[in-house]
Structure 1
Amino acid sequence: MRNRAKKTLQVALSLAIALTIFYYLYKDIHFEQVNTVLKETVFLWIIVSVLISIAGYFLRAWRWKLLIEASETKTISTLKAFWALMFGYLVNLLVPRAGELARCAALKKTDRMDMGRLLGTVILERSVDLIFMMVVVLLAFMLESEHFIKLFAELVSSETLLRFTQDYGLFLVISVLLVAACLFVLVRIFHQSRWIRKIRQFIRQFVSGLTAIAKVKTQGGFWLSSGIIWVIYYLMMYFLAQAMPSTASLEASSVLMVMVMGSIGMIAPVQGGIGTFHALVAFILLFYGIAEEQGKIFAMVVHASQMLTILLLGAAAMGVLLKYQTKVTL
């Protein structure tokens, strides 16, 4: 009961922070302004962006399927992985980062797969995404170095970072070493415990999932799809930029910079990147001469189009996964 209350408090706090940021950003934006922009918006480009995003979800599901089949003895269809993935995205809108667990739990119930191995494949998948994201950030820096340097100077103070490292660096290192030592002692003391055996079994399954990438039969397809996923992210943002007069004139490299900032906003531990996505996208658009109000409305349209897609597909996924689960239990 206490853990449930703690989790509820964490979710409520995360949502409160997200809504506070969102309110602060949009408190001066009136409905008439939004309505005027929407009247000038070419919704065909938004539809194209949404369709491309769905194709990206399918590609991501196919890539996850490769990792699962490399770590499991069972096979799984791309469609089933897709529905589990969309269910995970839906859960992320309610509880930040819980979607990764939710999609693994969905396949555990529908296909009786090991939770540890599934989590290992998800961690591996996210690690690969992080590598490609760093490549995209580097590319954005190369193409938009002037704006990138200005942005970094505004967001990060080198003097503050140096002072923090000098004041707390040693403390952080010692703290990490102490925690590691305590964990080692506890494991040595309770190594014969039934719970410890379960944890060790889970860790073995987890490591098996992490090493799945070496066992993937379609190595070329795995890495190519990982790159294409980020190309799709870019195309989604590009077509959405084309949909609105205020952003239609952005250069291709500028759209890449906007995508990078949006991706960083989505990483924040709040439901669906609410507030953080809007703030960072609107902020970077100021560097390209786009009015603050126009930038905020653009961020709202981009975010809303993706959230509605996830809500609709996620709701459908719940029904489909329940049907799969029913077949397994019969």
Structure 2
Amino acid sequence: MDDRIYQLICLELSGEASEVDSKELGDWLAQSEQNRSVYQAMSQYWISTPEVYTSKKQTYSKLKKRIDASNQVGDLKTEENSIKSIGTRRLTFWMKAAAIFVVALGLGWTAYVSLNTGNSGPGIEMVVKQNPTGQKSTIFLSDGSKVVLNADSKVSYKKDFSSKERVIKLEGEAFFEVAKDSLRPFRVVTGEVTTIALGTSFNIDAFPERDNIEISLATGKVEVKSSGKSNKNMEPLYLEPGERASYTLSTQDITKQKFDLEQVLAWKDGIIYFKNANQKMIIEKLERWYGVQIEVVNDAQKTIDISTKFENASLSNVLKSLGYTLGFEYNINDKKVNIEYLN
């Protein structure tokens, strides 16, 4: 590869490539499978080393020197031994890229895939992450993407994504920060709805007891497709930041509208956000958030419509505030809560 290819790859991965740069790189990628494999390898290590993000534009020159030096026949074994001896320590980006190029070009891409995934063909290992009520978690995927998984939610995916796409299944709610990889679309499957992204961040709310699946885009761009029987010929829906796709399961209709970013993403920052919430919505959220069961001794005789938020608050403090506003008393006994409205 010449200097220009190194430069194009680094500019593309850093998000600094112009339209002309991207087209030139695309033409090079289309020339051979080997070119695409090299780009893919470099992309994997690029996204795993955020400490060099501030200097990516200048990285390609250092990278080229390292790879050119490592491609000397006498240096190949030395590089392999060096890689093994490093163990689990983090390498700088250019060392990682050099290592992967040596293996990919000197030993063959197939050998590299087998060596690094420990898996090929049948028997691919699946990963399932599930949170009970009252618990949230953050999951880091093998491609550098991050998933913030809400309580009472589950994701499942292959331990090592394929060379063509990245697929993850979701039940419940999660916020995704997708690592950029123009060769492998990132697909989130939630029942009849598939959300496709290349590098962006978005929230999906797909709790099974609800009739709606909602995809809310924070940054970038996504494509939303429905596999419902009545939607076979429906055109995909494309979202821009600040837009949300809402798919109704009972009617198989999908619509697009604006949404309140603070309201939708508050949960991942430890904020309970109620907007025009009725009693059912309040109880459902508190049960999931705190991992409790709430029983209402006597239903409210008035219509409840409340908008408020609580940041990193205890259940007792939330109930105390809501009780004062809505006129009820409460009793917490381990994981059970009784609410009784005052006359």
Classify the TM-score, shorter chain. Answer: under 0.3
In terms of fraction of residues, the more helix-rich structure is 1
What TM-score does the superposition give when structure 1 sets the normalisation length? 0.21
What TM-score does the superposition give when structure 2 sets the normalisation length? 0.20
Between the two structures, name the one with larger relative contact order (CA 8 Å, sep ≥ 6).
1
**In terms of Rg, which structure is larger?**
2
